[in-house]
Structure formats: structure tokens, C-alpha cells
Chain A
Amino acid sequence: MRIETNQQQPGEAFLSATGIHKRFGALVVLDNVDFAMGQTDAVGIVGPNGAGKTTLLSVLAGAFPPSDGIITVNGQNVTALSAADRCRSGLVRTHQVPIPFSGMTTFENIYVAAAHGDAVGRDEAYERVIDSLTLCGMLGVANRRADTLGLLDRKRLELARALATKPKLMLLDEIGGGLTDGEASELVTTILELRRRGIGIVWIEHIVHILLQVAERLICMDAGRIIADGEPRAVMADADVVKAYLGGTPA
């Protein structure tokens, strides 16, 4: 099912999540999360391990449904839609642990995304793949089978594949993890280019200093809740955020 692209009203959220709960058995991973953002926003998400960041991303992307709550994209309720259908309406994610199509080449990996993200003719799909390969610095490994790629290239492949779906909004899950400073600054350049193209970003990242080069808004999560949300420097200075990170308890 394709979501109609309505003319977006200024100030209206492109992606919104209301009253999201996610429980795995007795374990509450997301506890009444509300979240909304415009189509071209750049939002960073930080928080200690187990805060529910990746789970929130998965629920937004449609990897699994929330136990409770509503998700809308462009004003349409997509809570019951699959990840594939959400991708086709412009919402795509990357995975924290890269999951390449191991038996296919880098080019073929990205071609799958280009040919399915938003059904197009073959030539346009090819062009999109070449564009993704170029932007993510992967032209040199285009013909390599994905199972021969190293970690850095696998991370780049996650980004390149997601980009080839021609997204309006990308949900990035720790694509900077394990990178050297040089690699991380290349990544920031790439993501700033995506921003320049008008693609919205939600980026979960532990490496705060690279996140802050992109994010205009920062959300801090802890124990399944959003504990701070706003201007990045203000959020980082917030008493609750400091406490969540340092594991302090109220005096």
C-alpha cells in the first residue's frame, strides 16, 4: 500500500509516535513514548545501553508492532503496515549490526534497495545505486561479494542501501560505532550531504561529539522513557541526563 503524499502543512509532523509501549513478556522496553518530528529535521538519540533506543527505532520502522500506541507517517496511520510498506512511503532504517545480503555483491545489495524502495525503472535504479556507491565511498568494492567486506564497508553498505530507497527520512542506528576519528568525520560529511538533499535524520549514536555535528535536536532516553528532548547542548547539560549516564541516584 502506498501512502498518499499530502502537501505537508508547516509545523505538522512527518513522523509521529503517540503513547508507544513495547513489552517483551514482563519486560517493559518502551514506556509511553511520545515522539514527533518534521520531514527535514535532524534528531539525535542518546541514552545508556538498554534505554530502548533501538527498540524505538524498530517500532518506528515497522520491524515489529508496538504493544500499544499509534505511529503516523505524513498524517497516515501506519501502525499496522509492514517495514516494506513504510520504506515505500519514505521511511527507511539501517541496522546497528550490519545485515548485508552476504551472497550478493555490494552493487546487487544496493540494487535490491533501489529497485524496491520506490518502484522505478531499471535505469533510474542503476543511477541511484551508482549515486549511493559514490556518496558512501564504495565504488571500489562494487563487485565484491558482501560477505568479503570488512566492518567499515558493511556499515557503509547499510547506509548506502538505505539511501538507495530514495527515503524522505532515515533512521540510523549506531552507524558510527567502531569507526576511527577519520572514518567518523567522513561519515559526518556523508550525513551532512544527505541533510543538504533534504533527507530527515534520526540518529542513535554513542559517540556524542559526532552526533552533535549533525543533530539540531537531541533526545535522551533512559529505561524506556524520553527523559530530555530539545536543543542538544541543553540536553547534554540536563541534570537527569547526566544522572542517567553516570548512574547516580537522587540524593
Chain B
Amino acid sequence: MTTIPQSIAHGITIERWTRASRLALGGVAIALVLFAIAPLTLGAGAIDRLTALFIYVILAAMWNALAGFGGLVSVGQQVFFGLGAYFTIRLADAGLNPFLSLFAAALITGAISLPLSLFMLRLKGGEFAIGMWVISALTHMLVNLDRLIQGETGTSLISLNVYDSGTRRVVIYWLALASMAALLGLLFTLLRSRAGAAIQAIRDNEDAATSLGVRVIATKRLLFVLAAFGIAVAGALWLATATTFQPKTYFSVQWTAYMIFMVLVGGIGKFEGAILGAVLFFVIETFFGAMGVWYLIGLGATAVLFSLFLPHGLWGEIERRFDLRLLPVGYRVKFSGTPDTPRN
């Protein structure tokens, strides 16, 4: 994935990696290895918490890709979270290995998002955002009709019980870690590709993008389906850790609210921002989660304060102050003889 800047002409090169970003990539690799061996030393509670963190990172990165890079602001992404969990229950009930069911369920959810995109992506702005919520509410009711689910009583991923709880916990932890790493890698590669440039162009101006040869609907669909798949993976993993499935928990708008919180606080439209936001959310939840209603009020107030005073989020602020880009998706023109040219 490492690219040496291409020499063009007149001493101009196009920089895609910086020294800091190469170091950051190395840091990410080391962190992943440390996380991978962490279960050897961590207790059950810590393993469960870290599993939750990995799921949060997936959710934040997916919503950020959709809204921050693609301009597709949705408040109904919980539909894919819920469907990921629901299809896992269904497939496991049909006899498929529960761990395999997790990923098969995400694939099915991704496949369902394709026909859904045909009409949802015709909606613009707020209509799309609210339309997705409507789709989610509708899907919630349809899932309730499934007798296996027993309405809001819900059911459990019983077939996981054949594994002892220690093994189960660690396997789910590793699956969550691997899913997070793979999905982040996939997103990062996509956003750095020419499709990634097209995604951002569509966000900024659809008419201009189409007049320059960008196939707008196809590009949006790619992003929409990828986000649906990623969020379904998160939903399925959440089911695996929680084991119980109650539709109203999974199809709750709170999931999208969390995604929005993480992305706004971390920095919308910045790849690093979503990850930072997920870590912050995780820390806040760990320390204040037990405070119930006051915790939720605090979350809401924090989100409002950030959108008022730090609209580019924490990472946006760090990037601006220190000109630091750790996981850059953009392009920077370098002129030989000038060591650095400011971006803004």
C-alpha cells in the first residue's frame, strides 16, 4: 500500500503519504498486534469492554464515510445494525455455525441494501436522512412479525452456548478486532482511490461531479452498500457479545445517535476523526455510563457544544493546529526546493 510519490515534471511530485503518516501506519500495526495478544493478560470484563470499543470504531468509521465523505447523512443506520443481528439469529436457527452466521448475516444485509439504495438514493439531504429512519422503523416492525423473534420478547443466539464462555468471549473479541481492522483498511483504501475522490466530489456538488464524468448513482451505491455491510457486521458482533436479541434494542435510533456523536466529536470527514471519536465515546461511557439519564444528557450537551465551537471536531482542530495528517486520503502537490507548502 505504500506509494512513493510519483515524479511528474518540473520537479513537481504528488504526495500521498507523509513521514508522520508512515509512522502512524506503523503505530496502527503495533496497536493491532498488542490488541491481538491482549486477551492473554486481560480479565473477562476488560475483554468485553474492548470488544465494544472495536464495534464502536466500526460504527463511527462507517457513518463518517457515509456522511462525512459521501454527504449521505442518515439517521436510520440502525436498520443495518438490527438486520445484521436478526439474520444472525435466523441463520443460526437454521443450523449454520453461529460464528459463520455473523458474517453471512452481514453479507445478506449488504445484499438487501442494494435494492434499497435504488430508491433511497433518489432522495436528497433531509429526505434521505429521515427516509432512512422510516425504513428502519418499518423493518423493525417486519422483524417483529417473525415468530422466531417472539415480538419484543426477543430471543437469544442459543447455539453459542455449545462453546464455553471463556472461549466464546475471546473468539468474539478476535473477530471484532479482525473485522475492525479489515473494515478500516477497506474504507481507507476506498477513500484513497479515485472512487474516494469521486465520493467527496459528489458530497460537495453532484452536478459538477456528473458533468466531469463521475457516475454519481453508482458511486453513491457503492458507499451505501459498504456502510450497510460494515454496520451489519457491527450489529452481528454486538449480538454475539450480548447473546440476547430484542428488536427494539437493536433497531433503536440510539445507535445512529452514538455514531453521530462519535463522528461529530472526533471530526467529521476526517478518517482519523471517527476513530478518535469512538475512543472518546468509549472512555466517556466507561466512566460515566453508570450515571443513566445524566450520562445521556451529558452526551447530548457535548455534541451540541462541539458542533457550535469545534465544527471540525477534535481531530479537525489537531490537524489545523499542528498540520498533522496521520491517515491522509487526499493529495498534496510538492514543489522541489520548497520543503513544505501549507495546505490552507
Contact = CB atoms under 8 A, between A and B. Distances in A.
Interface of A: 61, 63, 82-84, 87-88, 92-93, 95, 99-105, 107-109, 111-113, 115-118, 122-123, 125-127, 130, 133, 139, 142-146, 148, 161-162, 165
30 contacts: A61-B211, A63-B211, A82-B215, A83-B210, A84-B210, A84-B213, A88-B213, A93-B211, A95-B207, A95-B211, A100-B205, A101-B201, A104-B197, A104-B201, A107-B333, A112-B194, A112-B197, A112-B212, A116-B198, A116-B213, A117-B213, A118-B213, A122-B6, A123-B8, A125-B194, A130-B333, A139-B12, A139-B333, A143-B341, A162-B212
Contact of A116 (B204, B212, B344): B212
Interface in B1-32: 6, 8-10, 12, 14
Contacts of A95: 207-208, 211
B344 A148 contact: yes
Contacts of B333: 107, 130, 133, 139, 142-143
B8 A111 contact: no
Contact of A113 (B204, B205, B213, B215): B213
Contacts of A161: 208, 212
Nearest to B205: A99
B235 interface: no
A99 B210 CA distance: 12
A142 B204 CA distance: 18
A109 B209 CA distance: 9
B64 interface: no
Contact of A130 (B12, B194, B208, B342): B12
- How many of chain B's residues touch chain A, expressed as a range? 20 to 34
B176 to A, nearest CB: 32
Contacts of B332: 105, 107, 143
A139 B200 CA distance: 22
A92 B341 CA distance: 32
Given A105-B330, A108-B330, A112-B198, A145 B343 contact: yes
A113 B6 CA distance: 19
Contacts of B335: 139
What is the predominant secondary structure among interface residues of chain B facing chain A? mixed
Q: Which of B213, B214, B330 has the most CB of A within 10 A?
A: B213
A92 B14 CA distance: 26
A163 to B, nearest CB: 11
Contact of B331 (A82, A107, A118): A107
Contacts of A123: 6, 8
Contacts of A122: 6, 194
A70 B212 CA distance: 22
A142 B331 CA distance: 10
A61 B207 CA distance: 11
B330 A102 contact: no
A105 B343 contact: yes
A84 B331 contact: no
Contacts of A100: 204-205, 208
